[in-house]
A and B are shown apart, each in its own frame.
Chain A
Amino acid sequence: VQLVESGGGLVQPGGSLRLSCAASGFTFSTYWMYWVRQAPGKGLVWVSGINSDESSTAYADSVKGRFTISRDNAKSTLYLQMNRLRAEDTALYYCVRGYSTGPGGYWGQGTLVTVSS
């Protein structure tokens, strides 16, 4: 199982970024997938989740209305479109495969998003 995130970088407040997570080694289309973030030196924060067929999505209150999670099962890829970025969105963003009812079994190494002018 491998999860490889990409798309992070430096962006100005108010800007946008699209994160991607390429999955391999398992049947991507059968799992819930999640984004979890961790600000430098801080704890884990659940950001968003999406079910296997994209019929159900959920967001943390802090990103609702600004972030959109999606997936392409044909490409085994998870996405996170992030708009109206704020300084407090600065973090390492992990792509996580679901396990039971929540993020779990496998984590990527993360992609760093820095929001600063």
Chain B
Amino acid sequence: QSALTQPPSASGSPGQSVTISCTGTSSDVGAYNYVSWYQQHPGRAPKIMIYEVSKRPSGMGVPDRFSGSKSGNTASLTVSGLQAEDEADYYCGSYAGSNTYVFGTGTKVTVL
């Protein structure tokens, strides 16, 4: 149950795109299409942004600027058209078999 690997930080100017990677193994990210992404603002509880690799949850107010993908053992979150309110910590998470789950190490996104 090792944490998935994310870059510590990422940044972009307003209107630009930023992509965050999430690298796991053939036992978690590579084995299942059950990768989720979460956004967490300081002092707040996390919010799910993407589930099942690329789906946006209904009724959660997630803008279509957020998109997800996966290739092999690495999943990615892309935020297009960056806005100031996108500045937050982002975590990936993956089903890891036998009803267990693992989160990523987290990425701090800064809007320049």
Please give, as numbers and ranges, the residues of chain B lying within 8 Å of A99 by CB-CB distance: 36, 48, 51, 57
Taken together as a complex, chains A and B put the C-alpha atoms of A18 and B41 apart, in Å, by 28
For the A-B complex, the count of residue pairs with Cβ-Cβ distances under 8 Å equals 72
Given the contacts A43-B105, A101-B95, A60 and B45 also touching, CB distance less than 8 Å: no
| Chain A interface residue count, Cβ-Cβ cutoff 8 angstroms | 27
CA–CA, A14 to B20, complex, Å? 39
Q: Are B91 and A58 in contact (CB under 8 A)?
A: no
Q: Are B91 and A60 in contact (CB under 8 A)?
A: no
* Chain B residues closer than 8 Å to A108, beta-carbon distance: 45
Asked if B36 contacts A102 (CB within 8 A), the reply is yes
Complex contact A44–B100 (CB within 8 A)? no
Query: Residues 100-111 of chain A: 1 if any B CB is under 8 Å from the residue's CB, otherwise 0?
Result: 111111011110
The chain B residue with its CB closest to the CB of A62 is B1
* Contact present for A105 and B93 (CB under 8 Å): no
How many chain B residues touch A (Cβ–Cβ < 8 Å)? 28
Assembly CA distance A86 to B106 (angstroms): 24
Q: Which of A1-56 contact B (CB under 8 A)?
A: 34, 36, 43-46, 49, 51, 56
| Contact for B45 among A61, A94, A100, A101, CB less than 8 A | A94
Tell whether, in the assembled complex, residue A107 and residue B34 are in contact, meaning their CB atoms are under 8 Å apart.
no
Q: A94-B46, A102-B51 are in contact. List 17 more A-B contacts (CB 8 A).
A: A43-B104, A44-B93, A44-B106, A45-B3, A46-B93, A49-B99, A58-B98, A60-B100, A94-B45, A99-B51, A99-B57, A100-B36, A101-B34, A104-B48, A105-B60, A108-B45, A110-B45
B residues in contact (CB < 8 Å) with A: 1, 3, 32, 34, 36, 38, 40, 45-48, 51-52, 57, 60, 91, 93-95, 98-106
